[in-house]
Amino acid sequence: MLIELLLLVIFPILLLIVISLFFLIYAETFEEIHFGKREVGLLVIGSVSTMFFDLPIFLYSNYFLAINVGGALIPIILSFYFIKENALSFWKVLAGIVMVGIVTYMVTFVTDVGVVSYFPFYFLPSLMAILLSFLFFFRNPKTCVFAYTISTLGVIIGGDFSHLPELFEFPFMGSMGGAGIYDMVYLAGLISFCASFPFIRKKRLSRAERNIRKIEREAYYAGKIAGIGGDYRHIIRKLTGRDVEEIKKRRLISEINRPLMRFYASPLKRIVAFLIDSTIVFPVSVMLLLIFHMELYIFLSIFLLIQIFYFTCLEFYFGSTIGKAILDIEVRNVANEKADFMTIFTRNIIRILEFFAMFYLVSVLLIVATPKRQRIGDIIADSIVVEVK
């Protein structure tokens, strides 16, 4: 009983620490499999900060089904992203999901509190995913993301969707991935990734090589914004009037971006744009409160989820929300290009964390203080907000 309690409380935290350490040490390998800073930040910070929020997907009479944002939605979105970016074979993914799903179905069962599985049987889906991953990819770095993907999707299909007929035999209220980072959906993917990563072929640059690559990347981004071409030394010289060797490393990003401040949206514009958007989202939430007589916690959850949906949809399809469009500002990636879905989704899912960080006060301070005027979500997602006409 003690072992199971320790696993329940400590194990997910240890996994998050392990995957963070792996990323710090082997960042190049993570980038090779499209599991970069943005994705790690979304999985760790995004899931932890949204594990108490459920997105309703089915409501009828005494039946209510939701999906937990941190425990299921984020892992599912990451899984499909890994399939696309790593060009994983459809048939291999399908075979993996089916096998993991079958194992999951066999070790889970329905109780009064929902679908459960017990120690040590809830490790079996992850073990199956790891074995299949090495069977299909051996020591290729794709082994890890394949294991993560089929674990996550296999568990939610075999453990949640396959049990829905049993759950709906009686009035039911529940959430898939409802335990957040402690849920089997979330943990299965993490276990599979962390357990398979030590056995793959890995890349690791020296500290000096990493510093050079970081300087080149920052100069490239700055050059894209300023419209300056050439190598990183030329771009830095054009922007700062000095050679790269003359600038202290810890000041380099600030020095490069100082001449570009006019391109980034001002803190005032961003605050006003957010207030305009909030005046659109808030009345919708209040209307739902009056119609369904929701409790304060549920109202707050619905308000934040509507806000995320509003910002994500408009910024992905149009680059701007209504408030941003009125103020002539737009969301882009750090290379000043149209931001993809993962960038937009990540920067907006972090809004829940920012809301509870003194009601966005921390984010406002970061927008004022950071070289690229980025809030927490922008830093994690590698997004910027720029002036446009």
State both tokens at 165. 């007929």
Rounded Cα distance, 357 and 365, in Å: 11
Q: What's the distance, CA 68 to chain centroid?
A: 14
How many helices and strands (H and E) does the chain possess? Answer: 20, 7
Reported as a pLDDT band with limits 50, 70 and 90, residue 298 is confident
Let me know: does 134 contact 199? Beta carbons within 8 Å. yes
Reported as a pLDDT band with limits 50, 70 and 90, residue 5 is low
Element (H, E) at 206: none
Rounded Cα distance, 254 and 2, in Å: 50
Does position 355 have pLDDT exceeding 80, yes or no? yes
Does position 339 have pLDDT exceeding 90, yes or no? yes
Q: What is the mean pLDDT of residues 314-321?
A: 96
The predicted structure's pLDDT at residue 179: 86
Q: What is the mean pLDDT of residues 83-103?
A: 97
Task: Determine how many CB atoms are found less than 10 A away from the CB of residue 329.
Answer: 22
Does position 250 have pLDDT exceeding 70, yes or no? yes
Q: Which of 22-26, 108-112, 253-257 has the highest mean pLDDT?
A: 22-26
Output the CA–CA distances (angstroms, integers) from residue 237 to 219, 244, 260, 261, in the order listed.
10, 7, 14, 17
The predicted structure's pLDDT at residue 7: 67
Let me know: does 319 contact 331? Beta carbons within 8 Å. yes
Does position 299 have pLDDT exceeding 90, yes or no? no
**Exposure b/e, 239-265, CB count within 10 A at least 16 = b:** bbeeebeebeeeebbebbbeebeebbb
Does position 112 have pLDDT exceeding 90, yes or no? no
Does position 98 have pLDDT exceeding 80, yes or no? yes
Residue, of 1 and 317, whose pLDDT is higher:
317
Does position 59 have pLDDT exceeding 70, yes or no? yes
The predicted structure's pLDDT at residue 356: 87
Mind listing the pLDDT tens digit for each residue in 149-182? 999 999 999 999 999 888 888 877 888 998 889 9
Mind listing the pLDDT tens digit for each residue in 65-76? 889 999 999 999
Element (H, E) at 148: helix 142-155
Mind listing the pLDDT tens digit for each residue in 194-243? 999 999 999 888 888 998 999 999 999 999 999 998 899 999 999 998 88
Q: Is 193 buried (19+), middle (13-18) or exposed (0-12) by CB count in 10 A?
A: buried
Rounded Cα distance, 18 and 13, in Å: 9
Output the CA–CA distances (angstroms, integers) from residue 20 to 16, 151, 188, 268, 380, in the order listed.
6, 19, 17, 34, 14
The predicted structure's pLDDT at residue 284: 86
Rounded Cα distance, 330 and 273, in Å: 11
Reported as a pLDDT band with limits 50, 70 and 90, residue 385 is very high
87 conformational bin, left if phi > 0, alpha if psi -120 to 50, beta if neither: left
Report yes or no on whether pTM surpasses 0.75: yes
The predicted structure's pLDDT at residue 3: 65
Does position 366 have pLDDT exceeding 80, yes or no? yes
Question: Tokens 């737009």 correspond to what residue?
Answer: 330
